[in-house]
Structures are given as structure tokens and as C-alpha cells.
Structure 1
């Protein structure tokens, strides 16, 4: 009986070791859910295959329910790599100072948000006074934090300026709400707006952009603080090697709405942190 017990324990130890070894050979990747889950997965598949080839290891996409889930998972080492907005990076970095932003798309160094409406009479934000308005997720840099920050700098407090403020949860949902007349106006990131227009998912004869924010740093790919630095460098090198002149690489870049990836660093997001503290979203 003792031999059987020892054999069982040994088997469990070996199984556990095998599981840990398998986990260490898998790069766990996720992204803030700023679009529909099916769209996020569609965009990631070719990139995941490319990273597997470049890194020589399995790459697994791990979907999450909301923005805070990505922050917690990356800060607690349950994810290795994640596509974050500027604010979610600041939140991760606050919880795990070693978390490192590796790369961003070229346009993320000068990102903007678009204010939209289906009301032809609305030409500027002042025309929406007393009307309804939608942000994306509360934790969204481009769909909430930075637009709110710029509004506050102009003396506009959304909760008193608009008759009702709602949160759609995602950029594409905000556009859909505006087009359907669920709200009078809304704000979303410029990249998603351009994609929705290009794909015909928003009717520009009904919905128009009436204002654009000043520029700010936004999205990046961030690794957990405890990730092997050698692996982190390989991941960065793989992103920087994506060449738009290569048809296969261009297909990956197009899905990421990127012309190319460039290096980034934590200091680039100091302005985002300032905006978050001004909005009392960070302690």
C-alpha cells in the first residue's frame, strides 16, 4: 500500500512538472477587449503563427472578459504578453513596476480620438450640451480617459454637460450606438473609426466626425515583469522585423492596423498617468 501511495505521489509530481514545463513553453498572449472577441481573435491568428515561427514556441491567445481582467492577469504573471492601451499599461505598471512596454505601432506615438454624431446640426462639442453621450470602456485610453481629460481641460465636465453619459464597452459598439440613435454623440479611437469606415460597418452619410482630440501616446505590446529578458528581446525583435515590403508581413500589419512597429518605453506614458490622476482613476 505504501509503495502504491509513493508511486501515486511520484506520478502527481511528474504530471505537475510536465504541466509546468508545458506552460513555460507556451507564450500566453491577450489583448484589451476594445472590439468584439471574434474580431480580436481574427486579428491575432496570423500574428500568433508568426510569433510561433520566430520564437520557436507555442503561442496561445487567452481571451478576457474586460479591461481590468487583462491588467490583473498580466500583473499577476498569468499572461506573458498583452496588447494594452496607454491607461491599462499605466495600471499594469503601477501594480507590477517591472512590466515593460516593448513596441507600439508607428501611429500610437501620435494617437487621436474621434468625436462622432448622427445629428447633422452638431458641428462642435458645444452643440451636444444637454444631449446624450457615449464613451467606450471606463478603462479605455482612447475611448474614455483622454477624451475626458481634454474635455475637462476645456472646462467641460461630462456628467453635468450632457444629460446622460453611457459606456458602450468597446469602440465599435460606440459607433453602433451613435448610428442607431441610442445616443446623440460619442467618442472612439481613430484607428477603429477608420477601419469601420473602410469596411462599410459605419454609414458616413449618417454618422460624421465633428472633432478630433490632440495627440497622445496610446497602445503598446507589454510583457510581464518576470518574463525572461532574453525571450522579451526576441519578442521585440520579431515585432520590429515585420516588414511591409514582405507580403506575408504586410497581411499581419494590416490586421493590426499598423504600417510598422517601433520601440517604446515607460516614460512615454507619463502623460497618460497624469490624465488618469487628474480624472481620479488612479490612487
Structure 2
């Protein structure tokens, strides 16, 4: 029923395969760069120094479909000596914000989170960066995909894309919230989501209604 929608990184493949969403844009900078990193944080005074130290600890993931909050950790962490649900018990916090605040409060020993979210939290004064320590970060992942419905009239779809690509961030609430973002950059699901599909494939994710419910 929607003509336009934004989907976070992990759920985007479900939107494409189950709802016919067509990703066409992502927020980025003048240099064409975009993306965020998966970062793992613990308390500043924690005895956790490297990824293998997460064994036996309380680690918060965000939600099953989240890329940086769950899917990527499950695909990448075993290669660094720690397997979620085997070496540590996964607790779902519900969001990146709750994971980070839980680490600060000591509710969790560590948490994988999206860099762009915790950076905005710090800018708003929601936590003191001095209270936490990052022990690992990934290469960049794509951020939220902006999509149109697959069955729109081509002329309408093109006008929507033009509205996005001509939008000026400077002086807007979006520009204030997303520092370093200055425009919408053209992308395709085939290219920019290849690494995400690989991660989800490694995790056995199936793009079906049942797979969505399971994730």
C-alpha cells in the first residue's frame, strides 16, 4: 500500500523479495561515500580486550533481522573465535540505542551496534563516549535503502527518484541529524546489497513469510 519506503540494512532483502520494493537511493556525502560500520563496544574498564574475550559474557544483539545488530555478527564473529549462542548467550535488546545504553549501565558486557546510531546518540548527549571502549569494527555496510513500489507507473517512479536526488540536505532537519550527509546517492539492490545477501545466506536466512517471522 506504500509508494515509497525506507528500510534498514538487514530487512531490505525481505522488502525486495516479499513486497516488491525497489531500492534506488541511499544517503551519502558529496564524495559519493556512504555506509556505516558494525562496532563492538564494552565498558571502558572492562576486562574484554578482544573478540575472543566475549566467551561466557552477556552480549546484547538488537533484533533478529538487524544486519549489524545480529546477522553480521553471526556470520563474522565465528572467524574471530567467538560464536553467538555457543560461546555467549544472545540477549535481544530491541534496538541499537538500548544495546548501547545497556552496555553503559552494565546490563550487558558488550554489544554489536551500528556506528551511525551510536554516533548520533553521543552527539545528543545520550551517553558519554568515555564510558565505553570499542574492541572491533567492520568494513562499511550500506545504510537505509529508500525504495519505490515495483508496480508504480514508470513516469511516477522517475519523478520520485528525481525528487530524492534533487533534495538539498543543508539547512533541513535531516541535514542537522545526519552530519556528513549531503545528498541521496543512486544505488541498486544487486550491487550495494551483495555483501548483505552473502551474510544472510551464510546464516541460512530464507526470504519467505516464514523466514521473516523467524527473523
- The two structures have a TM-score, normalised by structure 2, of 0.84
The aligned residue for residue 93 of structure 1 is 16
The aligned residue for residue 103 of structure 1 is 25
Asked if 1 retains the 8 angstrom alpha-carbon contact of 2:51 and 2:82, the reply is no
Among 52, 61, 66, which residue is 1:140 paired with? 66
Shift of 1:256: 4.5
The aligned residue for residue 38 of structure 2 is 113
Which whole-Å CA distance do the structure 1 matches of 2:119 and 2:98 have between them? 14
The aligned residue for residue 50 of structure 1 is none
Among 126, 138, 141, which residue is 2:52 paired with? 126
Shift of 1:169: 1.2
Which whole-Å CA distance do the structure 1 matches of 2:121 and 2:13 have between them? 28
Asked if 1 retains the 8 angstrom alpha-carbon contact of 2:25 and 2:186, the reply is yes
Would you say 1:80 and 2:3 are equivalent positions? yes
Tell me, which stretches of 5 or more residues in structure 1 are unaligned? 1-77
Q: Between the two structures, name the one with larger relative contact order (CA 8 Å, sep ≥ 6).
A: 2
Please state whether the residue corresponding to 2:10 is helix, strand or coil. helix
Please state whether the residue corresponding to 1:159 is helix, strand or coil. coil
Shift of 1:88: 1.1
Shift of 1:280: 1.4
Among 236, 254, 271, which residue is 2:176 paired with? 254
Correspondence 1:35-50 to 2 at 5 A: none
Which whole-Å CA distance do the structure 2 matches of 1:146 and 1:235 have between them? 31
User: Root-mean-square deviation (CA), in Å?
Assistant: 2.0
Shift of 1:156: 2.7
Would you say 1:264 and 2:187 are equivalent positions? yes
Tell me, which stretches of 5 or more residues in structure 2 are unaligned? 208-215
Please state whether the residue corresponding to 1:243 is helix, strand or coil. coil
Which whole-Å CA distance do the structure 2 matches of 1:259 and 1:200 have between them? 23
Query: How many residues are paired up?
Result: 201
Shift of 1:95: 1.7
The aligned residue for residue 205 of structure 2 is 281
- The two structures have a TM-score, normalised by structure 1, of 0.65
Q: Once the two structures are superposed, what CA deviation does each residue of 1:13-41 show, in whole Å capped at 9, x if it has no partner?
A: xxxxxxxxxxxxxxxxxxxxxxxxxxxxx
Asked if 2 retains the 8 angstrom alpha-carbon contact of 1:114 and 1:193, the reply is no
Please state whether the residue corresponding to 1:161 is helix, strand or coil. coil
For the pair shown, the structure with the greater C-alpha radius of gyration is: 1
